[in-house]
Amino acid sequence: MYKEKILNLLRSSHTAFLSGEELARKTGVSRTMVWKHIKSLERDGFGIEAMPSQGYRITFEPDVLRQNDIKQGLKTKVVGKEIHLFPEAASTNTLAMEMATQGAAEGAVVIAELQTSGRGRLGRKWISPKGNLYLSVILRPDIPMHKAPIITLMGAVAVTSAIRDLCNVPVAIKWPNDVLVASRKVSGLLTEMSAEQDRIRHLVLGIGVNVNMEQNSLPPDLRPLVTTLAAEAGTKINRTELLRQILRQLDCWYKTFLNNTADVLREWEKLNMTIGNRITVSGAGETLEGLAQAIDEEGRLVIMRDDGATRHVAAGDVTILKGARVM
């Protein structure tokens, strides 16, 4: 707590020095304790210049997520009420599922700086080096099972909205929940569920966002398909601010989801780049081609084939065909 107070004081004095005496007076600890907290901040990766007779100032902020920074000004009702932050996890989804089974509260968020076995949709891996965001939110909605897929669409709406709020990039959703910039993926979502008969015990909404990672931390075959917000915006992104905004948007859209799922679907439609385009969708051993017409009330993609027949698809990979309309 005192360490955080000292950090906040140093941050708010920007480039001006703050004396050990002043820091001690404002925080109510001894100058020796101030010095110990300064050393601890240095161990956390902060650059702190100490000038005899002038005091201390921050010269470098590490790109590290910190519990207190995330919580500062968050003001959410459900999502992020509890934050579990790890330097590393096999998969935040796996961890969150375990915590949910052990009774973790609704809205608890599990975050890791990197994942060693990140998981994607359709059994794929999610490459998870440092520099990005990896989080999983525990939810316990009292809803019929067929509404569960809309949670993932809700997550895509929240992530896309947060990116629009903070990064100056043309971001849109490709069905069902790929978040793209310039036709390349910046974020993906994976929802996992524990249920008994027709009752949902809990859901975990996992979100990966490619923020600041080096493009060469990806295998070469993925590089043309994947991008980062930093690369698209042309500047490093503040991960803490983005994470906070994602949590705020999730909190807001989860409330909307519980009140009226149609509102979530309407927003998804506004933010999507799939509907109205000619596409192929592959999954479950077949590939369909046609016009992406709409999403139905369960979030399935409605495709009109060339013979006029429509199909409702629940899962798959969409490719938007060349010459198609891109928003």
Binding residues vs ligand BTN (CB under 6 A) = 91-93, 115, 118-121, 124, 126, 134-136, 178, 188-190, 206-208
Residue with smaller CB distance to ligand BTN, 107 or 206: 206
Among 209, 45, 240, 235, which Cα is nearest to 129's?
209
Residue 222 CB, shortest distance to ligand BTN, in Å, is 12
Residue with smaller CB distance to ligand BTN, 56 or 134: 134
Residue with smaller CB distance to ligand BTN, 140 or 185: 185
What does the buried/exposed string (b/e) look like for 94-124 if buried means 16 or more CB atoms within 10 Å of the residue's CB? bbbbebbeeebebbbbbbbbbbeebbebeee
Residue 112 CB, shortest distance to ligand BTN, in Å, is 8
Residue 256 CB, shortest distance to ligand BTN, in Å, is 22
Residue with smaller CB distance to ligand BTN, 78 or 190: 190
First to last CA, the chain: 47
Residue 198 CB, shortest distance to ligand BTN, in Å, is 26
The answer to whether 132 touches 208, Cβ cutoff 8 Å, is yes
By the 10 Å C-beta count (0-12 exposed, 13-18 middle, 19+ buried), 234 is classed as: exposed
The CA-CA-CA angle for residues 291, 292, 294, to 5°, reads: 135
Taking the C-alpha atoms of residue 142 and residue 46, their distance in angstroms, rounded to an integer, is 44
Give the nearest residue (CB) to ligand BTN: 188
Pairing of strands 286-295, 178-181: unpaired
Residue with smaller CB distance to ligand BTN, 35 or 120: 120
Taking the C-alpha atoms of residue 92 and residue 78, their distance in angstroms, rounded to an integer, is 19
Residue with smaller CB distance to ligand BTN, 24 or 271: 271
Residue 70 CB, shortest distance to ligand BTN, in Å, is 16
Residue 294 CB, shortest distance to ligand BTN, in Å, is 22
